Structures are given as C-alpha cells and as structure tokens.
Homo-oligomer: A and B are copies of this chain.
Amino acid sequence: MTIDHKRVAVLSPIAWRTPPRQYGAWETVASNITEGLVSRGWDVTLFATKDSITRARLHAVVDRGYEEDTAIDAKVAEYLHISEVFEHAAEFDLIHSHYDFLALSYTRLVKTPVLTTIHGFSSPGIMPVYQKYRDGYFVSISNSDRAPGLNYLATVYNGIDLLLYPLKIPGGDYLLFLGRIHPDKGVHLAIEVARRSGLPLLIAGIIQDQRYFREQVEPHLDQTIRYIAPVDVAGKNELFASARVLLHLNTIPERFGLVLAEAGAAGVPVIAMDLGSCREVIQDGETGFLVDNVGEAILALRRLPEINPDACRGRVQQLFSVETMVEGYERVYQTVFALEATRQS
C-alpha cells in the first residue's frame, strides 16, 4: 500500500500527561499512535498537556493533567484544549480524536475530517452525543465494545511498545492483580482466588474507588495478600518478573484491557473473565484462560504449566504491538481520505 504522509493532529486527553507517568490508558494509546506515526514518516502534531513527551510537534495550551494538578479546572481546561485543535483544523488533513464524546460537538464546524477512537462509553448519559454524530468516522478498540448505529470504519486493537515489556524469566510464585482498584476490575474476586487457592497475591494500581478499597480490599490484606502503590512501567516489569499469573476477573465487559497485552508481552499468562474483549485479547488455552467465575479461575491455576510464555509474547507481537496498531490506523486513515475525496467529487 502506498501511503501519503499527510498532516495528522492527534488529540489526546488531558487527564494525565501523554504518555502518562503511571495510570492513563487513553493517553498511553494516543502516545503510542503518535510515536508510531512519527516513526513511519507522518507529519504529526500532538495536542496534549504541556509537559507531554513526544517526537511529534507538541501543541499545548494546558500546563498539566487535571488529575495531576488540582489547581486546574478540568472543565475550563477541556474546552480550551479541545477547541484549540479545531481552531487549527485547516492546518491538518485529519484530526484523530481520543477525547471521548466532547470533541464530537466541534466536528461539524470544520472541513477537516475527524476520526474518533472510542476508548469506552463512560456512561449511558453520553450516548445521545454519539447518536447525534453517528455519521462521523469511528474506530472501536475491540469488536465487543461497539455501540449500534455508529459509523465504524474498523476495529483497531490497542498496541503496546514491546521493547518496554521484555520476556520474563520462566516461573513465578504469586498471583498478580494490576489495574484500577474498582469493583469493575474485580479485585475482590482476585482476593477470593488467592484465599481459596492459598497462593500469595500482589495487588497494584491506582485506588479509584476509596470505599471499595476500604470495605472489600483492605480488610483482607495480610502477609500473603498485599497491596502496593500504583506502578510505572519499570514497576510493572518487576511485578511480571516473578508472577505466576495475572488475574483479570473483571465484572463488566472489558473494552480492551491494555494490561492483558502488557502481561502477554512479558510472557505472563492471564486468567480473565470471559466478558467483553477478553476473548479477543486472550487465546483460551494458549496465552491464558477465559473463565466465568472464581471456581473456574481456581481450576485454571492448575493448568498454567500448559501455557508457553513465547506464545503469549508472540500473540502480542502479532496483534497488539504498536506497529500492528499503527498499520491498522494507516489503513483507516486511507479509507477516510478516500471517502472524503468521493464526497468532494
């Protein structure tokens, strides 16, 4: 395929820096796309916080992520940040938005086509915005995370930089939970697996639901079930190095599950609830096990020796690498350009 290296604006969220220091899946993906496009010769401008790090041109009007600096008024920052890219729309051939539903409300005011990657539907309340702008250009991050009626051009799986997640040494002793401490992520189910199997559990992640942590996590902490702070990439690799398995017993459909790909890259098998995208990311019996409940998760622990770490990494390399993702987006961009050319002719 021949590629016109046109001018692309990537609109990243501003909850966190791009890329984020620790938590921040949307900013992570926006960063990976940006850097991947730059590597492949595209002319990219990243709209993100001023402290963001990129090899693209950085265009920023907000100093820091509003989750990182309480002095920043999130509502004000969002309006300033989003409108900025649209005010510069004429300088780009494409605006690639990662900014939830808010950016859609500006799309009809500019001539530049806007592609929106939907990283998740944060609440049913936002659906009227998607319905109004349903004829826009959309990408889903898994086949399972789609809303009916939207003009999806493709599913492009999130991609990670495999250089950041080297293959671990074989073996490992503890169960690992890595993610937001929130009921959606099933930390309490991971704890139940640990208690019933007698295996140690390490829990790492940002505490997003304080009450859930206080009531359903903290009381169970002891010598074998431990909570450690949120971790950065180096911290994740340390945790992966001696982990037996990643437990991802989500209680609602997963949208993509970036941590599943990260664990896979490191050769850590995953036991995941069979909800949402998990079955797209994990190959059951090959890179981990899909389960329907805690009992099945405990049974799956016995089968972990069947999993080959190289197979885990291989699947991520093939399907969930930055390169694969960027190639996927390049195809979508070409589709957009072709559709726009048809519209104008």
Interface residues in chain A, defined as those with a beta carbon under 8 Å from any beta carbon in chain B: 73, 75-76, 79-80, 82-83, 86-87, 89, 101-102, 105-106, 108-110, 123, 125-126, 128-129, 132
Contacts and interface: CB of A to CB of B under 8 A. Distances in A.
Contacts of A101: 76, 79
A82 B109 contact: no
Contact of A129 (B80, B106, B132): B80
B87 A126 contact: no
A86 B105 CA distance: 10
A180 B250 CA distance: 46
Contact of A126 (B76, B102, B123, B128): B76
Nearest to A107: B83
Given A73-B125, A73-B126, A125-B73, A80 B110 contact: no
18 contacts: A73-B123, A73-B125, A73-B126, A76-B101, A76-B128, A79-B102, A79-B105, A79-B129, A80-B105, A80-B132, A82-B105, A83-B106, A86-B109, A87-B108, A87-B109, A89-B109, A106-B106, A109-B109
Contacts of A89: 109
Contacts of A79: 101-102, 105, 129
Q: List 3 tightest A-B contacts by C-beta distance, closest first.
A: A73-B125, A83-B105, A109-B109
A210 B237 CA distance: 49
Contacts of A80: 105, 128-129, 132
A85 B101 CA distance: 18
Contacts of A75: 75
A80 B108 CA distance: 12
B76 A125 contact: yes
A272 to B, nearest CB: 31
A104 to B, nearest CB: 8
A123 B132 CA distance: 31
A58 to B, nearest CB: 18
